Structure 1
Amino acid sequence: MNTKKKILFVINPISGGKRKTAFKKQILDTLDLNKFEPTFQQTDHAGHAHELAKQAVINKYDVVVAVGGDGTINEIGSALAGTDTPLGIIPEGSGNGLALYLGIPLHEAGAIRRINRFDMMTVDTGRVNDRFFFNVAGVGFDASVSDKFATDSTRGPIGYLRTVMNLLGSYRSKKYQLTIDGKSYDREAFMISVANSPQYGNNAYIAPNASVTDGMIDVCIVHKFPLYLLPMMVFHLFNKSVDQSEYVEIIPGRVISIDSEDIGPVHVDGEPLLIEAPLQFSVQEKSLKIIC
């Protein structure tokens, strides 16, 4: 009787600007083949990872592994949320926010060994309208950066930083109407992030106290600030102290609505989307199993 676990590796060939031509060999060299029976699929269009993961659940795979960045994780996690099929992660993105938060190694061999170990946790997931998010979603400046970065030919941190610098001088704060667990707030904000986990990626912490197991999502409102204070704001992000800035307000909640006359693009785990306002956020407690 074959007791090996069926494991599907869904590989995004372009995530993080990294070539993955030798990835299959790395898997076969490091994966415990006495425990797992691997299958490999490569994505070739937006939404393909979600389709493959959905089919894997139907075909009763024991594990689906995202080989890519937070966008790939989002597509696969969205198919696995609410099922008994766990998500594995081999981080290959530009920011790798969820993997960094969960302590999953950024090098392939280390991440594969975590899968061999098969330790698991069940985490909360976020929803914005009909879309899942697992890390951070939001509107404002960071969503506009994600929107522009999506068409940039230079992937990775360098391309992202270039997009940030190009937008900084021209971006204008917007007025938002928020409702958080029934309480109303009117705010003019540079950006608003709704965080299930603390960081965007690359160890930039937008909501230092957020947790994927507390049944809450943190609404981080970054108010308009003088541009000369940008270095200090960046310092706060990477020092896990953004909540100490006078220009930042963090309000935890379970049910959140965000509206604006011009909502603009929305980012969901770093991927830009056009979602009609008002944006309705909620948390679904302990709804996704992750190997970590």
Structure 2
Amino acid sequence: MAFKRDVLSRERILFIVNPISGGEDKIRFPELVDKFLDQKIFDAEIVFSEYGGHASYLTEEAIMQEYDCIVAVGGDGTINEVASKMVFSGRKMGIIPCGSGNGLARTLNIPLKKEKAVQLLNRNTVRTIDSGKFNNKRFFNVAGFGFDARISALFADNAQRGLKGYVVSVLKEISRYEPKIYRLYIDGKKYERKAFMISVANSSQYGNNAHISPKARIDDGLLDVCIIKPFPLYWFPVLIARMLLKNVDGSKYLEIIKGKNIKIEQEEIGPVHIDGEPLTEIKQIDINVEHLSLKVLV
């Protein structure tokens, strides 16, 4: 006899929508949910975030109200807000990617088309992944120091979002940026490096399929500290090409050290970012991995 799902047994799912992420208007997103979400499996509700940090608050409320699944509809910043509150909650997180880079979604093979990402939720298949703790904040993709943090700060203020805006910011800064000295303590071992930038990777990529640590795994209990050493300016296009080809880890200008407990000291106060979102400039950062801490629908 075929099993008929009772209305009371449907899972409660909440979509938290950032209406402006990726420069898109998502006023018609509820129509996609009505059309593509399996109503026999899920009992859906949709809310729109209204300001920075609002998605975090909505997620906390949803956890207290015992939703089974909470879905972030937005870019990496929105995804970080929702995921940061769901770590160790036992609830399932869904992702509808609508950002500029969509690094975590790409890593988890979540479709970039919204209707296909909604349909994917119907599989109700869970993968448990690691998260990174960065002082008192969390990241799920990549956190960084140096040049990419500088670009993240500029990009956040750039009216021209998307890949084109990011490239414009990079080209404006690349020739005048000076590498910095960093002291690193990785699982008790001390290193000192002069670096163009340092990325701490939970997944393999920044976004847009630019892989800074191609062999990184998002559930191995380790973070990859990726140190890009000073390089001649003509090599920069090669760096980008090798990231896209997923072989940058073979370059003499990149050193990767894996670890669980990491401290990084900058020689002077400087910019940092988590999942592409700039933070207040700081000098010392403590980072550790939280193994298998977040359940994601994939």
- In the other structure, the counterpart of 2:258 is 252
Matches within 5 A, 1:278-289: 278-289=284-295
Answer yes or no: is the 8 Å Cα contact 1:139–1:263 preserved in 2. no
The gaps in structure 2 that reach 5 residues or longer are: 1-6
1:20, distance to aligned residue in structure 2 (A)? 1.1
- In the other structure, the counterpart of 1:132 is 138
Q: C-alpha separation between the residues in 2 aligned to 1:165 and 1:238?
A: 18
Equivalent AA in structure 1 for residue 104 of structure 2: L
- List per-residue Cα deviations over 1:94-131 (Å, max 9, x = no partner): 00001001100000111111101100011111011010
RMSD between superposed Cα atoms in Å: 0.9
1:144 is aligned, of 140, 150, 159, to 150
- In the other structure, the counterpart of 1:241 is 247
Q: C-alpha separation between the residues in 2 aligned to 1:173 and 1:209?
A: 25
1:234, distance to aligned residue in structure 2 (A)? 1.0
Q: C-alpha separation between the residues in 1 aligned to 2:179 and 2:97?
A: 33
- In the other structure, the counterpart of 1:276 is 282
Q: C-alpha separation between the residues in 2 aligned to 1:146 and 1:13?
A: 21
1:36, distance to aligned residue in structure 2 (A)? 0.9
- In the other structure, the counterpart of 2:75 is 69
Q: C-alpha separation between the residues in 1 aligned to 2:115 and 2:207?
A: 20
Q: C-alpha separation between the residues in 1 aligned to 2:28 and 2:89?
A: 31
- In the other structure, the counterpart of 1:24 is 30
1:261, distance to aligned residue in structure 2 (A)? 2.4
2:268 is aligned, of 256, 262, 283, to 262
1:251, distance to aligned residue in structure 2 (A)? 0.4
State the number of aligned residues: 292
Give TM-score, length-normalised by structure 2. 0.96
1:275, distance to aligned residue in structure 2 (A)? 5.3
Q: Tell me, what secondary structure is at the counterpart of 1:32?
A: coil
Q: Does 1:45 align with 2:51?
A: yes
Q: C-alpha separation between the residues in 2 aligned to 1:132 and 1:234?
A: 26
Answer yes or no: is the 8 Å Cα contact 1:136–1:268 preserved in 2. yes
Q: Tell me, what secondary structure is at the counterpart of 1:118?
A: coil
Give TM-score, length-normalised by structure 1. 0.98
Answer yes or no: is the 8 Å Cα contact 1:70–1:269 preserved in 2. yes
Matches within 5 A, 1:64-103: 64-103=70-109
1:196 is aligned, of 199, 202, 207, to 202
Identity level (%): 47
The gaps in structure 1 that reach 5 residues or longer are: none
1:252, distance to aligned residue in structure 2 (A)? 0.4
Q: C-alpha separation between the residues in 1 aligned to 2:236 and 2:224?
A: 22
1:235, distance to aligned residue in structure 2 (A)? 1.1
Q: C-alpha separation between the residues in 2 aligned to 1:75 and 1:246?
A: 36
Equivalent AA in structure 1 for residue 284 of structure 2: P
Answer yes or no: is the 8 Å Cα contact 2:179–2:230 preserved in 1. yes
Q: Does 1:15 align with 2:46?
A: no
1:225 is aligned, of 215, 218, 231, to 231
Equivalent AA in structure 2 for residue 272 of structure 1: P
